[in-house]
Amino acid sequence: MLGSEPELITHHAHNGTEPDDPPTVPIIRPRPGRPPRRPRPLTAQDLRRRRWKRVRRIAYVAAGLFFFVPGIAFAITYFAVDVPSPETIAQAQGQAVTYLFSDGTEMGKDVPTGGNRQILAPNQIPDVVKKAVIATEDASFETNSGFDVGGILRAAYNQVTGGSGGGSTISQQYIKNASGDDDPTLTRKWVELAKSFKMNQTYEKADIITAYLNIIYFGRGAYGIQAAAQAYFGKDAGQLDYSQAALLAGLIQQPGRSENTAVATSRWTTALDRMLKNGYLTPAQRAAAKFPTPIPLRESKQAGALNPFLKKQVKAELAAQGIDEKQYYSGGFQVFTTIDPQAQQSAEQAVAEGMADQTDDRILNALVAVDPKTGGVLAYYGGDAIVKGPNGEDLAGRDWADEAHNPGSSMKPFDLAAFLKLGRGLDARFDGTSPRTFPGVDLPIRNAGDSSSCSTECTVSEAMQRSTNTVFYDMVLNVTKPSGVAEAAREAGIRTKDNGGRSELFTGDNNISIGGGGTQVTPADMASAYATFAAGGVQRDRHFVQKVTNANGETAYEAKLRSVDAFADNDTQKSAQIAGNVTAALAPVIPFSRLSCPNGHECAGKTGTQQHTPQNDEPASAANANSQTWMVGYTPSVSAAVWVGSDGDKALRGPGGAPLFGSTLAGPIWDRFMQLYLTGRPGERFDRVAAISSPQDRVQVQQPPPQQQQRDQRDSVRFGDGNRQQDDQLDRIREFQQRLQELQDQQRGRRRP
């Protein structure tokens, strides 16, 4: 319109008729002197080029993901994993522990759960064995870096298509077996590859194949080439020929079918063919090969099953010395035990003969023998290792030699030791009649029978021979006190629960005096404690192990023998005198109990019986039955404890329903053991010591009543019984006692003013 103002450019922005930003389409300005240029339309070739460019970029990314990233991850894993040396891994595998008798002969092997591995050095395994395994298991072993890419691809293909066959190299199999990890996961396989590669960068091939052969399973319970050579051919690995090596190499893939002749033959054939293909055999050798028939399976079993109770004791002893369960199976140890093969055989034979006629299947037994001169266990029998369960099934037996039982009268030597420590002697007198009542004791104390009773002034010596309960009950109650008996027993070698043992010495009442109530002792402890008497008062720790050597023959442990004066600190003579007086009192017990001692030897010992406590539902005859019986005795060279009893308080019966006593079953077993073990060995006598006596013991000996004299005469005739060996033994005992009396009289004479 005429006369109107010019329109402002901002008006369009405010009224929304113009955009705020300049146009985005580029303005193509022609170059000076040239016509305007228009964009060229894209051709099909351009489009293809663009597509391939995108494909290449994706391929680069994929290559990075599948190669570069895994490479970085593999490198990280390589440096992160720890590959111990083949020697370390081999040693860490469970190896059998060889047990030896005291004379060095083999007792048996303790094979770990994984089997028996015996570690060999590279030069102990023949090349033919190594080549057989390489050809059969991993033909590229000498050149691969721990894994075979082609083998991995074949394994992957087989898994996809349902075929069989893996791609593991010997190095991979070694890592898998050494670690015990067979988890079918990608993580486990990845770590296995890294470890295998790192092992091959770190160690020589000879070391790797040797380590592999030392741990791989061949069947028949044999882990490692040495155990396999023994199990299949009864020879060492170094003696294997190429045909035998081929069979063992072939069985690695199917060890569980080793007894299938067709499978074994097929695997042997495969191994030989691969050895020929790899140039390890000549065509003539392949043609001449004959199948090496293995020895029968029953003959390949290890000779001499190891006593499980003995093994338990040895392992406990070694654990206390720092060789725990982990170390026990890792050192290729040889354990030199203290067990004498003749003593062990004698113990087992004596028990078998003694139990042959018994009809009560509740009767149990144990026998332990100890060397008084060293404390070493000579024989250890804890009962049957395998027993029948209620349904006829096989169950593990209990070690009755290490179970505590009421010792009965076999406890009385410790009463006497405590009495002698106070300066009292064998000529002290007590009332030996029966029954007797004591202040504060609810029930009367009784002797076991007429033969166990004596006069009102019964000497301690006679009371021990007759096993007079009333005398020893009186002695402990009024003189030594229960604590004194417990102290003497511990000093002799009884190991109580508060001192690492299993026995219990209860001092809350006076029942310890006759081995009843809460007092319970193991047969092993009894054998050790009586050994202290045999050793002249020197207490030596009971032990099963002399020394232990490792796979290199080096001493890993050696027992340190500790000796102490049991009954008098730092006073050898006094301790010996106490022990000698105990021996003088125990010597007559042997013939009195109708037992004997091997010709030329002096013996001493004590029987023991624990009476059964009848229950309301039992017949009246149960009151006359016994539940535990003992015989513990010794010579200067062996102390043996025999226990025959029940699991708990049961009324045991012998043939014909007769009750059992220490002198009727445990005693004869002890007697038989001593005869078997000592016959033919040089005779031994106990050391003579001075008698212990005090002024209050010097009372004129009263003559026993005529009836008692007649009974003594009958006993003397009966125990002599025309047996020359028993007569000789009685003569020695009389000589011993006479000498003891002479020494006692001399001491009295010197003390008279």
Chain centroid offset of residue 529 CA: 24
**pLDDT band at residue 227 under the 50/70/90 scheme:** confident
Q: What is the pLDDT of residues 622-663, one digit of tens each?
A: 667 778 899 999 999 999 999 998 888 887 777 877 777 777
> β-strands 563-565, 538-540: how paired?
antiparallel
251 has a pLDDT exceeding 90: yes
Distance CA 313, CA 333 (A): 16
Average the pLDDT over 720-725 and give the result: 38
What percent of the residues of the chain are helix, what percent strand, and what percent coil, each to the nearest 5? 50, 10, 40
Distance CA 677, CA 165 (A): 61
Q: What is the pLDDT of residues 393-423, one digit of tens each?
A: 777 889 999 999 999 999 999 999 999 999 9
137 is a catalytic site residue: yes
Q: Of all residues in the chain, what percent carry a pLDDT higher than 70?
A: 73
Contact 603, 674 (CB under 8 A): yes
Query: Which of 29-38, 626-635, 659-668, 707-716 tops mean pLDDT?
Result: 626-635
Smallest Cα–Cα separation from 145: which of 188, 195, 184, 187? 195
Q: Taking the domains of the chain in order of start, what are their residue ranges?
A: 50-80, 112-299
pLDDT at 164: 44
Residue 221 buriedness (CB in 10 A; 0-12 / 13-18 / 19+): middle
Domain 112-299 - what CATH class? mainly alpha
**pLDDT band at residue 71 under the 50/70/90 scheme:** low
329 has a pLDDT exceeding 80: yes
707 has a pLDDT exceeding 70: no
704 has a pLDDT exceeding 50: no
Q: Which of 102, 137, 330, 455 is catalytic?
A: 137
Q: What is the pLDDT of residues 351-391, one digit of tens each?
A: 999 988 887 888 899 999 999 999 999 999 999 887 777 77
**pLDDT band at residue 37 under the 50/70/90 scheme:** low
pTM, 2 dp: 0.69
409 is a catalytic site residue: yes
Q: Of all residues in the chain, what percent carry a pLDDT higher than 90?
A: 48
pLDDT at 524: 97
CB neighbourhood size of 725 (10 A): 13
Q: Which of 171, 258, 346, 409 is catalytic?
A: 409
Residue 536, Ramachandran bin (φ over 0: left; ψ between -120 and 50: alpha; else beta): left
pLDDT at 515: 94
Q: What is the pLDDT of residues 552-594, one digit of tens each?
A: 889 999 999 889 999 998 899 999 999 999 999 999 999 999 9
Q: What is the pLDDT of residues 273-303, one digit of tens each?
A: 999 999 999 999 999 999 999 988 766 654 4
Contact 530, 634 (CB under 8 A): yes
Residue 39 buriedness (CB in 10 A; 0-12 / 13-18 / 19+): exposed
Gyration radius of the chain over CA positions: 43
